[in-house]
Structure 1
């Protein structure tokens, strides 16, 4: 892969937020070195990318996805990666989860890929986490809460169990396996450019096509992304005193974290997880408040945003789904300790307008989007032992134990 170095960087305390980077070649060849005097382009040899992928887990949260879409996503993930599928699909009246397991088992015979699957609401999983004192992810029934973020955090715990250095997240509703392949290699390129062990790589889609008037329209931004990015940039601008538009990936479902950073972050429930990562990084490492992580402050945190070459074709889940995503993002920013009063008022007005389209009941967003504790509070060896012994839905393929 060949891409440019960051052309511009916003800095907040120990946090560096790099402007969107452009890819010039998806495959820049096997040859070593770079036969040019350019100092603005970074080239990754195939072996460099492959070595990083060996240390990476790709987490796929699934809920009632079309099996053909799941097959396509799995086919696009490079073989070097460990794949962790966390499903929250219904088990009755038709057992969708068993259908997913059957699909993955059959594909696994031909792919020779290392795959792990678990159901998010496995009762044993909830019991294990409760026993280990990690109850911020649990619902009142003792099982892991419903929600995308909760599934992603379960995936993080499993990736750490297999001692992976990097974790990437891919949504399961992608129609283009080649785009999935590009996302994973973008993750690897970002980690290869990082100058700190604490890094976050976020995908910026070049286009998100929509069908309008029987033809494809290649839109640059969706409504939710545009509003989320605008408000995250407003938060950053208010903190620094200088207006900026550097953040372009506030709702990026396709993103990756180095494990040392992933272990240290809090996570916000449901669809608020992606924008909350920005908020949590600002609060922990932006020099705004006292930090419990002096080593990370010393090394710094880098956020990369890398634009794809493939457009992003995904399942259209309707306006209600988009409104839920937008509400989650706005509530997350408004709830930040760093959010100034004027911006908070603006965010509350935007949420009130959304509420008019849904219901007139006042919402307690702190209860609706609870915060999940960092996974570094979970004893890794104990979690692994208990999961292998007790979780009925914990399936492994490709020689994993």
Structure 2
């Protein structure tokens, strides 16, 4: 290899050959260059370098042509050239493998694991995504529900699956964001064991009240809570869910004393809100929108940065003076760590197409959700930031899952 480096090193005098020679050096050293030289392959770059200094490739080729820099070699054998050329050809094949891999994917049935029961909002959106990916990529995409331990079992299954893109995870934030803080033993590290393909949709958290209450808006409820510590009953479910974390964070930051009433899920919270047992509650907008439209509960504030198109007259908590009170119930598609980048990129590109489809956009809007496109890198940064934010809330409030 040192002889090959010296051979190409003599080609580094003066002009554009420097770029081609250094490119070949990178390949011959066993490294993958960051990009091709002006769209050229490894082989074409090598041939360019060789043709300048070995214009006749034949039996008579024993020494390089004149080169202005460095000492001239005693001789360069045909064997050395053959070895160098073989290395360049091999590097060309290696560089072309990602493209071939992406073109071949998927080669069989793709399973999308949803770590929640059938019929949940996450499950419904996963099935909509699977159907569209199947149409676009020409292989079956099937949804399998592996519920248990608040999403941990299904997430673990994907984290331990082969990293070939044929087993994917579609999940809400909990199992890959706050689970490590909420549970004592989680058998995976989401940031280490999974790689995001893309965020997909998001749903704002909404604070709701009772239509017959004396307080008519969020500031009114807050005033009552301050004047009557512990009397305002706040319902949430499940423990450690995003709606719960939002209000735990709000109570801590504002020093307001609420009586927290835990439930196993959002449905019994709604029942007691409508029945008058609770004063306020939080939930994902898509899950409470029908009751809002029916007037059974009233919206007090939304936890998005901008007003929801579904509730244009409802202020955000940011507008009301609480800039840190932003909570989105997002979902994302992920793959096992080590899944080839071309496969991740191909899936991401197809998801972006789906998110731009007018029919899909209308379907998401009907569910009171918003589309949340991202690149894989943007998704990773977002998930990491969310994990840090909400894990701190969990720790500061000593919250543990049921």
Tell me the TM-score range normalised by the shorter chain.
under 0.3
Q: Which has the larger radius of gyration?
A: 2
RCO (CA 8 Å, sep 6+): is it higher in 1 or 2? 1
- TM-score under structure 2 normalisation? 0.24
More helix by share: 2
